[in-house]
Structure 1
Amino acid sequence: MTDIATAWNQYSGQRPERRPTNARGETTWFNWTQYPDHGPGVEVLGLQPGSRVLDLGCGKGGNIAHLATLGMTAVGVDVSPVQLRAARGRWGAVPGLSLERADAVTYLSQNAKGFDAAYSVYGAAWFTNPDDLIPLVFKALRPGGVLAFSQRPPVEGCYDCQASYIPRGDDEDPLVVRRWDYPEDEWRRRLLDYGFTTVQARTVEAPAGRRRTGTLMVRAERAG
């Protein structure tokens, strides 16, 4: 299996930069889905200015930077130095924003606590064994805290640990990383077993116009 940082360094170079503005002319915004100007926004997290929020797999930092601009204490964690270099280059001067290099499990294991919300947008919640990650997220959240994540819906019948392939050059084998795919009902069951008391899971339909894949969204609350 590919070294995780190497894989996401490679992936970083294949992703376009976030646009200067979105369709509403905003310079920062929150996007849960793989499509621009589509789906719900930051309201999913239920946060207020002053909240502490953690992005697990922040990539190039657009979502977590937006939360910092709303007055939150915002921490983005990513294992890829290439991704973080891009994030710091564009968003490093935003007040209230901290960008840390670590894998999600390591960061959460090092006494991370007191967050009002943690989230993952096609990030660590998809590419980390939930038995390792989710109990640590639960401990890091304050009572009433929210965990939310989005990822591609699973292929029917292809559940649990699967392989994702990150292409390289024409004469090179792709890089391989693990991901964890479950249907909505399985995510509900698992998150309740991990200790969350309210769990919602649904698929946000893709924009109309052509055949596209929707986005699986999961939201769980820790009891207040």
Structure 2
Amino acid sequence: MSDTRSAAWDDYSKSKPQRRTTNAKGETTWFNWTQYADHGPGAEVLALQPGDTVLDLGCGSGGNAAHLATLGMTAVGVDLSPKQLAKAHERWPEVHGMELHQGDALAYLGETFTVFDAIYSVFGAAWFTDPGLLLPIVHANLKPGGVFAFSQRPPVEGCYGCQASYIPRGADEDPAVVKRWDYPSETWASMLKEYGFEDVTAELTDAPAVGGRRIGTLLVRGVRCAV
């Protein structure tokens, strides 16, 4: 199963260009939760300090992790796609404090001995992993008071639970199929509380007012209870 999903995300990587050299502010690294450039909140969502250790589940080509590393954090990224990780190494060769691992998010969380100050996922593994499996192991790998946050597209009304995502693979091939999990905001909030998170928020960030796209970004955040 992992090999099939890995190949699917390798195919996906072909359609994604490298992150820009600079953003609209002229910054060479930055954090982006949404699918829109120069839009939405930044790394402050994670409430990190220099020296903290943070995990990116489904880090892709590493742009968010690279930004956190430049801020003085130890940024660990895990991704199924070797091609995405190759793009990360190519794009960020001189960034210190960033560790990248190829593999499944659940498997990595089950094997690591690191307890993180924050764990996050931006349109990544938190969207494509059964929350009944992911949330308890994320909780177990977070320090008390640590933040777990993830972003994804909001669900289509009435289309909740495990859904199919189709990833194009080429003109002569059927698309790859991967599973994703969609829920309304109140359901995500309830699930995080059930698995031991507090101060939970699940909010929609609207799309930018310019342009024709109107699908916003669902950003879910919780804090591991201190006890």
Return the TM-score normalized by structure 1: 0.97
Paired position in structure 2 for 1:168? 169
Which secondary structure state, in structure 2, belongs to the residue aligned with residue 126 of structure 1? Answer: coil
Q: Percent identity?
A: 64
For the pair 1:185 / 2:186, whether they are aligned, the reply is: yes
Moved more, 31-40 or 108-117: 108-117
Cα RMSD (Å): 1.1
Q: What residue identity is the alignment partner of 2:10?
A: N
Contact in 1 for aligned 2:18/2:91 (Cα 8 Å): no
| Structure 2: gaps (5+ residues) | none
Q: What residue identity is the alignment partner of 1:212?
A: R
Q: What residue identity is the alignment partner of 1:24?
A: K
Paired position in structure 2 for 1:96? 97
Contact in 1 for aligned 2:32/2:38 (Cα 8 Å): yes
C-alpha separation in 1, matches of 2:29 and 2:112: 30
Contact in 1 for aligned 2:18/2:87 (Cα 8 Å): no
Q: Note the C-alpha offset of 1:148.
A: 0.3
Q: Note the C-alpha offset of 1:113.
A: 3.2
For the pair 1:58 / 2:53, whether they are aligned, the reply is: no
Contact in 2 for aligned 1:116/1:142 (Cα 8 Å): yes
Q: What residue identity is the alignment partner of 2:219?
A: M
Of 211, 214, 220, which aligns to 1:212? 214
Identify if the C-alpha distance between structure 1 residues 187 and 112 changes in structure 2 by more than 3 Å, giving closer, same or farther: farther
Paired position in structure 1 for 2:225? 223
Moved more, 111-120 or 150-159: 111-120
Q: Note the C-alpha offset of 1:92.
A: 3.4
Q: What residue identity is the alignment partner of 1:158?
A: C
Contact in 1 for aligned 2:12/2:169 (Cα 8 Å): no
Map of 1:123-134 to 2, 5 A cutoff? 123-134=124-135
Structure 1 runs of 4+ with >3 Å offset: none
Which secondary structure state, in structure 1, belongs to the residue aligned with residue 150 of structure 2? Answer: strand
Paired position in structure 2 for 1:43? 44
Deviations 1:157-177 (Å, cap 9, x if unpaired)? 000000000112222111100
Which secondary structure state, in structure 2, belongs to the residue aligned with residue 199 of structure 1? Answer: strand
C-alpha separation in 1, matches of 2:113 and 2:127: 20
For the pair 1:17 / 2:28, whether they are aligned, the reply is: no
Contact in 2 for aligned 1:159/1:182 (Cα 8 Å): yes
For the pair 1:142 / 2:143, whether they are aligned, the reply is: yes
Contact in 1 for aligned 2:149/2:222 (Cα 8 Å): yes
Contact in 2 for aligned 1:113/1:139 (Cα 8 Å): no
Q: Note the C-alpha offset of 1:112.
A: 3.8
For the pair 1:119 / 2:116, whether they are aligned, the reply is: no
C-alpha separation in 2, matches of 1:50 and 1:219: 21
C-alpha separation in 2, matches of 1:3 and 1:211: 31
Which secondary structure state, in structure 1, belongs to the residue aligned with residue 77 of structure 2? Answer: strand
Q: Note the C-alpha offset of 1:102.
A: 1.3
Aligned length: 224
Q: Note the C-alpha offset of 1:32.
A: 0.3
Q: Note the C-alpha offset of 1:16.
A: 1.6
